[in-house]
């Protein structure tokens, strides 16, 4: 499965990635009791709501697996002729009055946005959630140019106050407790800190709303991402659960959409199909609170809307995946279902992954976008349970892609020599059945010997790192061959 697409991206995205420090960051976060409390509270909500959302499809006479296959087909159809659909989108968007620009990487995104802001005398930019702007380090670039970026999605606003990156693509502040958020609000809003419980969440939300409203009214530029780009109409589709998305895209006189080239869908009908899956997979809703189709600029007689609309369509490593072993990853619709069901993600949180995309999707995207040599541990951040593959609404085979990245690492000699030696030794033993059976008999009996009074293995003596953050289930003390032979005799 090796491919040049998994090679180095050089500087750029890799400069800002901390993925090479995954092990150290993971060890720190698995021992953080505050983080663990926040994560364990959030996980059942994500999983339960998605299950209910998927089950509700049957009430409408729809088959979830058939919808998944249809969505996969839509995304594959786009990727097969991506250049054609991008040309169609550009033509339709320009006809509607929008400007379309192209960016090779994050640095070029930042330069283009700063140039637009300076051209229109922008001093403040209100932002709706955009993961691609995180790829481009856009907030830092705007601030360096004297332009104040204000995140207006509530979760993004919280992590901006904390000076942190989002830890989840749907719920950026999922790692924060109510107490931590209260402390941030008290400091930022200039008031005394108060004890808070979950009953106070509506009041805290209203407090943030009052502060952000002033930014909506005073920002000269709005910056958003796009969940999809509709080729048929030249529109950006924005799917949110907060009204900030509409405020950012209609109140400022300049609106800039920053999104990846893979976000194209051919028609509004295709968009409607994907929308049956996106909110259910992300938050369990049948439809999000706000679904906006943004086309062109303000026309005569319109009450709101930007005077200037600019689409910045970004590559940043995406084009390299076309036609490669990793093309399936471009089907991703950024729902977050893979991380919501991932035991590794909910043991560590998103910041352990060290770059923009956490969880299983990040374990594939980060090595592909920043260079596999800059994210050696991420393809191994998996239990192999395939929960991510089972819940992905567009059937991305995430475990298979992670396995392929591991193979590429071995082929390029990027794994530690001890690991490569151990794999060669295992292969040598596996080709000698009698020796393999003798060694496995010894290994399973050793594992049984490690079991303590609780019936679990709490410390794995030969590799204690395996049990730093988990216990291992006790085995029977017999190999598969021994169990099978005993069953045949019975």
pLDDT tens digits for range 320-362: 999 999 999 999 999 999 999 999 999 999 999 999 999 999 9
Beta strands 264-265 and 228-230, pairing class:
parallel
Residue 6 scores a pLDDT above 70: no
Give ∠ CA 398-402-406 in degrees, rounded to 5.
170
Q: Cβ atoms within 10 A of the Cβ of 202, count?
A: 9
Q: pLDDT class for 469, splitting at 50, 70, 90?
A: low
Paired tokens of 39: 């994560």
- pLDDT of 302 reads 85
Beta strands 124-127 and 99-103, pairing class:
unpaired
Question: Minimum mean pLDDT among 20-34, 80-94, 383-397: which range?
Answer: 20-34
Q: Kindly state the helix (H) or strand (E) to which residue 264 belongs, with its residue range.
A: strand 264-265
Per-residue buried b or exposed e for 209-235, using 16+ beta carbons within 10 Å of the residue's own CB: eeebeebbeebbbbbbbbbbbbbbbbb
- Give the torsion sign (CA, 53, 130, 222, 267): negative
Residue 2 scores a pLDDT above 50: no
Alpha carbons 417 and 398: distance in angstroms, whole number: 26
Tell me, what DSSP letter sits at residue 464?
A: G
247-300 pLDDT tens trace: 999 999 999 999 999 999 999 999 999 999 999 999 999 999 999 999 999 988
Owner of token pair 């033993």: 429
Burial class (CB in 10 A: 0-12, 13-18, 19+), 137: buried
Residue 448 scores a pLDDT above 60: yes
Contact in structure between 349 and 39 (CB atoms under 8 Å): yes
Question: Minimum mean pLDDT among 220-224, 292-296, 445-449: which range?
Answer: 445-449
Residue 452 scores a pLDDT above 80: yes
SS3 state of residue 237? strand
For the chain, give the number of residues.
490
How many helices (H) and strands (E) the chain has is answered by 23, 12
- pLDDT of 181 reads 96
Question: Minimum mean pLDDT among 59-63, 114-118, 273-277, 468-472: which range?
Answer: 468-472
For the chain, how big is the Rg over CA atoms in Å? 25
Cα–Cα nearest to 89, from 259, 233, 221: 233
Instruction: Give the HSE-up count for residue 182: Cα atoms under 13 Å, Cβ half-sphere.
Output: 15
Contact in structure between 111 and 290 (CB atoms under 8 Å): no
Q: pLDDT class for 450, splitting at 50, 70, 90?
A: confident
- pLDDT of 4 reads 52
Mean pLDDT in residue range 437-459: 88
Alpha carbons 158 and 454: distance in angstroms, whole number: 42
Cα–Cα nearest to 86, from 231, 225, 227: 231
- pLDDT of 337 reads 97
153-195 pLDDT tens trace: 999 999 999 999 999 999 999 999 999 999 999 999 999 999 9
Contact in structure between 380 and 408 (CB atoms under 8 Å): no
Q: Residue 148: beta bridge partners?
A: 124
Contact in structure between 362 and 353 (CB atoms under 8 Å): yes
Alpha carbons 245 and 154: distance in angstroms, whole number: 11
- pLDDT of 15 reads 60
- pLDDT of 5 reads 59
Residue 13 scores a pLDDT above 70: no
Most confident of 392-401, 413-422, 441-450: 392-401
Residue 1 scores a pLDDT above 80: no
């Amino acid at each position: 499965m090796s491919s040049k697409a998994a090679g180095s991206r050089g500087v750029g995205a890799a400069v800002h990635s901390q993925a090479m420090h995954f092990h150290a960051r993971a060890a720190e976060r698995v021992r953080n009791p505050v983080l663990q409390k926040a994560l364990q509270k959030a996980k059942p909500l994500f999983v339960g709501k998605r299950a209910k959302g998927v089950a509700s499809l049957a009430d409408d006479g729809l088959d979830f697996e058939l919808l998944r296959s249809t969505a996969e087909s839509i995304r594959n159809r786009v990727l097969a002729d991506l250049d054609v659909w991008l040309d169609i989108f550009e033509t339709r968007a320009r006809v509607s009055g929008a400007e379309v620009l192209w960016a090779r990487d994050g640095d070029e995104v930042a330069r283009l946005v700063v140039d637009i802001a300076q051209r229109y005398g922008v001093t403040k930019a209100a932002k709706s959630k955009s993961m691609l702007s995180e790829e481009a380090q856009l907030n830092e670039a705007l601030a360096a140019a004297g332009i104040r970026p204000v995140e207006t999605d509530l979760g993004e606003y919280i992590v901006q106050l904390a000076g942190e990156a989002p830890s989840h693509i749907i719920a950026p502040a999922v790692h924060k407790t109510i107490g931590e958020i209260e402390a941030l609000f008290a400091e930022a809003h200039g008031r005394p800190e108060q004890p808070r419980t979950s009953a106070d969440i509506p009041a805290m939300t209203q407090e943030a709303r009052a502060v952000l409203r002033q930014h909506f009214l005073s920002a000269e530029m709005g910056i958003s991402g796009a969940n999809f780009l509709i080729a048929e109409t030249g529109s950006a589709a924005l799917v949110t659960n907060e009204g900030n998305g509409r405020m950012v895209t209609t109140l400022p006189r300049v609106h800039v959409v920053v999104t990846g080239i893979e976000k194209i869908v051919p028609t509004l009908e295709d968009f409607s199909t994907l929308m049956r899956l996106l909110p259910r997979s992300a938050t369990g809703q049948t439809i999000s609170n706000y679904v906006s189709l943004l086309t062109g600029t303000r026309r005569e007689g319109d009450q709101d809307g930007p005077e200037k609309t600019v689409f910045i369509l970004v590559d940043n490593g995406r084009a390299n995946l076309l036609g490669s072993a990793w093309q399936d990853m471009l089907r991703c619709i950024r729902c977050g279902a893979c991380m919501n069901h991932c035991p590794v993600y909910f043991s560590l949180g998103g910041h352990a992954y060290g770059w923009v995309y956490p969880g299983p999707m990040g374990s594939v995207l980060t090595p592909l976008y920043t260079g596999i040599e800059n994210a050696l541990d991420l393809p191994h951040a998996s239990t192999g349970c395939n929960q991510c593959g089972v819940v992905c609404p567009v059937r991305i085979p995430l475990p298979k892609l992670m396995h392929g990245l591991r193979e590429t690492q071995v082929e390029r000699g990027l794994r530690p020599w001890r690991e490569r030696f151990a794999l060669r030794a295992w292969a040598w033993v596996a080709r000698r059945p009698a020796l393999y059976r003798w060694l496995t008999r010894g290994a399973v009996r050793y594992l049984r010997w490690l079991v303590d009074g609780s019936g679990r293995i709490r410390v794995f003596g030969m590799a204690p790192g395996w049990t730093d953050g988990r216990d291992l289930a006790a085995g029977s003390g017999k190999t598969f061959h021994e169990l099978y032979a005993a069953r045949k005799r019975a």
